[in-house]
């Protein structure tokens, strides 16, 4: 029943996107082609990011376990291109704010789903061996859908000129979090590990 398992994972990953598309009213605006365009922009932005990273950031040859804070910070900064891409998509779409956000986020997230999750699922979930990671991967794609919607909304808010002054700072902070999310998680993880080893070392000495 391994094809069945693949079907399970695929349904778990894909159906929320389908439901979101249908129920958010995008279908009434003939937004399918625009979502595909947003997806193409996603591909282009990813390609540029990869080329940039490959050219300007050679492989880090430090010792294992030493986390290169500066290097990883620079790499995470490249993710600003994501925000620029989202802004580009939204500015090309005329319409109400919600329409722009939803189109950009849907297209972006769907492109990410197709590119980064379909092939591992197809190749891995169909095999005899069972692994929980495929369910995890599908669930992860749900979370990234919500994440991209939020990110597109924050970008849109940032570009509005009639945004109240008191909202400027929280919006900027949220934007920063979006970009550096992975980097911050790694930092937290490293510091937690360091504190733990230090504590253990002290208790045993």
In terms of phi and psi (left: phi > 0; alpha: psi -120 to 50; beta: otherwise), the region of 141 is: alpha
Q: Binding pattern to another protein, positions 94-133, x when CB under 8 A?
A: -------------------------x--xx--xxxxxx--
**131-150 positions binding another protein, by CB under 8 A:** 131, 135, 142
Residue 200 binds to another protein (criterion: CB under 8 A): no
Size, binding site for another protein by CB under 8 A: 32
List, in sequence order, the alpha helices (H) in the chain.
2-23, 32-56, 69-77, 80-92, 97-125, 133-159, 165-204
Gap between the Cα atoms of 165 and 199, Å rounded: 44
Which residue's CB is nearer to another protein, number 33 or number 161? Answer: 33
Q: At what angle do helices 80-92 and 165-204 cross, to 10 degrees?
A: 160
Which residue's CB is nearer to another protein, number 34 or number 75? Answer: 34
What element of type H or E holds 129?
Answer: none
5, 125 contact by CB (below 8 A): yes
Residue 24 binds to another protein (criterion: CB under 8 A): yes
Residue 15 binds to another protein (criterion: CB under 8 A): yes
128 DSSP 8-state letter: S
21, 67, 158, 183: residue in contact with another protein (rule CB under 8 A) = 21
Which spans of this chain sit near another protein (rule: CB under 8 A)? 1, 4-5, 7-8, 11-12, 15-16, 18-24, 27, 30, 32-33, 36, 119, 122-123, 126-131, 135, 142
């Amino acid at each position: 029943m391994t094809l069945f398992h693949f079907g399970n994972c695929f349904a778990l990953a894909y159906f929320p996107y389908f439901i979101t598309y249908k129920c958010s009213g995008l279908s009434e605006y003939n937004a399918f082609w625009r979502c595909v365009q947003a997806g193409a922009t996603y591909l282009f932005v990813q390609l540029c990011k990869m080329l940039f990273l490959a050219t300007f950031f050679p492989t880090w040859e430090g010792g294992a376990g030493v986390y290169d804070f500066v290097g990883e910070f620079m790499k995470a900064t490249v993710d600003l291109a994501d925000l620029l891409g989202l802004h580009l998509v939204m500015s090309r779409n005329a319409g109400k704010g919600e329409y722009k956000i939803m189109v950009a986020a849907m297209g972006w997230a769907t492109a990410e789903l197709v590119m980064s999750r379909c092939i591992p699922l197809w190749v891995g979930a169909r095999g005899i061996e069972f692994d929980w990671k495929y369910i995890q991967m599908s669930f992860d794609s749900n979370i990234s859908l919500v994440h991209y919607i939020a990110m597109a909304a924050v970008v849109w808010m940032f570009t509005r000129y009639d945004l109240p002054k008191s909202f400027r700072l929280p919006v900027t902070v949220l934007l920063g979090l979006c970009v550096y999310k992975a980097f911050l998680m790694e930092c937290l993880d490293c510091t937690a590990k360091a504190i733990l080893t230090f504590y253990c070392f002290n208790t045993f000495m």
